[in-house]
Amino acid sequence: MPIYSKSLQRLISALHCLPGIGPKSAQRLAFHILKSSRAEANELAQSILAAKEKMKSCSVCGNITDSDPCLICDDSTRDGSTICVVEQPQDIFIFEKMGEYKGTYHVLMGALSPLDGVGPDDLKIKELVTRIEQDKIKEVIIATNPNVEGEATAAYLSKLIKPLGVKVTQLAQGMPMGSDLEYADEVTLAKALEGRREI
Amino acid sequence: MPIYSKSLQRLISALHCLPGIGPKSAQRLAFHILKSSRAEANELAQSILAAKEKMKSCSVCGNITDSDPCLICDDSTRDGSTICVVEQPQDIFIFEKMGEYKGTYHVLMGALSPLDGVGPDDLKIKELVTRIEQDKIKEVIIATNPNVEGEATAAYLSKLIKPLGVKVTQLAQGMPMGSDLEYADEVTLAKALEGRREI
């Protein structure tokens, strides 16, 4: 005998497909949805369908948006001569939450990873080069993740872009604020030492 | 300027309403849904709508089901003379996973909690008494949660049901298997001592 009735099992399976949602969480969420009001459950389902329907990639920067170009590319008060290169659309939101950056973005849609078969042609690198050449870009800030793939991608991009005559920078690497030397890993500490500044 | 575009913000807000899903998880899930295939997103949305549409409470025991009576109440191979009383429908699935119990269930839909304004009339207690009287029940196993509300509910039910001439039992309380005396809380240890058995 199946433990769950069909519709419940279907809902639990669908929720279980989400990242970070194990079988226990999926069950908890499913029961929450069953207990919630019809309006609430409807809103959840409809927002999924609407997002999937309306959201697309910005044709300029690759940001996820429901208008094209996206709100950031379309904002004339932003500095159009600086591009911050990120791996994923969600990285843009992290920068925007921080609020200190007023330039534009470019989403690579991944990082170089030969082991996973991701080469330069699989990333939005051609599009980046075209933008640099056409839009009189002055500075490209590379903000790929500080891991093996991200670092390789940054090195590749730097080699490719510098000859175009633009300034290429990368996010500083070192000790995170609020951390403790005692718990720093060696790679981070080495990067912090290497990047030490006079004060 | 809003950080997220409208449809994305709507999706994140809807996901944020789920239990245990904070703003960061909601964002991560939303981006996953946007990246996933249309079929996958559709399945998630439709399974929510279908579950909400089809699932109802079993008219006998209060289990969540898409057929009435539920698969458990409808199963003639189960022992209809024993009722296990639980607080929530999901508790039934925990028992069924364990697989050792072959009787029927009764869902109270909560536990007595005067502070939250939950009294005996707010729980499915009348229905339980009716079942006991009509179905020739021999044993009622009280499996409310081992916390203040659950214990109060168990005590209340025991007083109410015993005069009907049925055996009333409660789940054993003591040390959980695989645990360590060193980390046991005092209440659990006291319960384990109180309920000690000769070996």
User: Which residue segments constitute the domains of chain B, with CATH numbers given?
Assistant: 6-54 (1.10.8.420), 64-198 (3.40.1360.10)
Closest CB from A8, A47, A67 relative to B64: A8
Tell me the pLDDT of chain B averaged across its residues: 91
Lowest mean pLDDT among A133-147, A159-173, B173-187: B173-187
Give dist(CA A25, CA A21) in Å, integer: 6
**Alpha-carbon distances, residue A192 vs A34, A175, A197, A199 (angstroms):** 51, 6, 9, 14
Chain B, nearest residue to A36 by Cα = B52
Confidence band, pLDDT 50/70/90 cuts, at residue B102: very high
CB < 8 Å to A15, chain B:
44
Chain B, nearest residue to A30 by Cα = B48
- Burial class of residue A137 in the structure, from the number of CB atoms within 10 Å of its CB (0-12 exposed, 13-18 middle, 19+ buried): buried
Give dist(CA A125, CA A107) in Å, integer: 9
Mean pLDDT of B46-67: 92
Q: Report whether the peptide linkage leading into residue A114 is cis, meaning its omega lies within 30 degrees of zero.
A: no
- Contact between residue B44 and residue A48 where contact means Cβ atoms under 8 Å apart: yes
pLDDT value of position A2: 57
Please indicate whether, in this complex, the C-beta atoms of A48 and B44 are within 8 angstroms of each other. Answer: yes
Is residue B130 predicted with pLDDT exceeding 70?
yes
Least Cα separation, residue A183 to chain B (angstroms): 25
- Contact between residue B63 and residue B105 where contact means Cβ atoms under 8 Å apart: yes
> Cβ of A115: how many Cβ atoms within 10 Å?
7
Q: 3-class DSSP state for residue A55?
A: coil
Lowest mean pLDDT among A96-110, B142-156, B181-195: B181-195
pTM above 0.90, yes or no: no
AA letter at A57: S
> Cβ of B35: how many Cβ atoms within 10 Å?
14
Confidence band, pLDDT 50/70/90 cuts, at residue A188: confident
CB < 8 Å to B57, chain A:
none
User: What ipTM was estimated for this complex?
Assistant: 0.76
Give dist(CA B160, CA B170) in Å, integer: 14
Tens-place pLDDT, residues A6-65 = 889 999 999 999 999 999 999 999 999 998 999 999 999 999 999 999 988 999 999 999
Q: In what order do the strands lie in the sheet with B103-107?
A: B103-107, B79-86, B139-142, B167-170
Taking Cα atoms as reference points, which of A130, A136, A134 lies closest to residue A160? A130
Closest CB from A13, A15, A55 relative to B7: A55
- Contact between residue B186 and residue B194 where contact means Cβ atoms under 8 Å apart: no
pLDDT value of position B1: 47
What is the percent of chain A where pLDDT is above 70?
A: 98
The residue count of chain B comes to 199
Give dist(CA A64, CA A56) in Å, integer: 6
CB < 8 Å to B48, chain A:
11, 14, 33, 41, 44-45, 48
Tens-place pLDDT, residues B146-174 = 889 999 999 999 999 999 999 999 988 88
Give dist(CA B123, CA A94) in Å, integer: 46
> Cβ of B41: how many Cβ atoms within 10 Å?
20
Mean pLDDT of B8-17: 94
Q: 3-class DSSP state for residue A105?
A: strand
Closest CB from B14, B25, B31 relative to A44: B14
Q: 3-class DSSP state for residue A140?
A: strand
Chain B, nearest residue to A44 by Cα = B14
Least Cα separation, residue B41 to chain A (angstroms): 7
Q: What is the DSSP letter of A114?
A: G
Return the structure tokens found at A116: 């996973």
Please indicate whether, in this complex, the C-beta atoms of A64 and B28 are within 8 angstroms of each other. Answer: no
Chain B, nearest residue to A47 by Cα = B11
- Contact between residue A99 and residue A93 where contact means Cβ atoms under 8 Å apart: no
Residue B161: CA count within 13 A, CB half-sphere? 29
- Contact between residue A108 and residue A125 where contact means Cβ atoms under 8 Å apart: yes
Return the structure tokens found at A107: 């989403």
AA letter at A89: P
- Contact between residue B110 and residue B122 where contact means Cβ atoms under 8 Å apart: yes
CB < 8 Å to B30, chain A:
51
Return the structure tokens found at A175: 């000790």
Tell me the pLDDT of chain A averaged across its residues: 91
What is the percent of chain B where pLDDT is above 90?
A: 65
DSSP string, B48-115: HHHHHHH-EE-TTT--EESSSS-TTTT-TTSEEEEEEEESSHHHHHHHHHH----EEEEE-SS--BGG
CB < 8 Å to A21, chain B:
29
Q: 3-class DSSP state for residue B19?
A: coil
Is residue B77 predicted with pLDDT exceeding 80?
yes
Tens-place pLDDT, residues A149-184 = 999 999 999 999 999 999 999 988 888 888 888 888
Mean pLDDT of A83-112: 92
Instruction: Name the helix (H) or strand (E) containing A174.
Output: none
Taking Cα atoms as reference points, which of B163, B164, B171, B175 lies closest to residue B142? B171
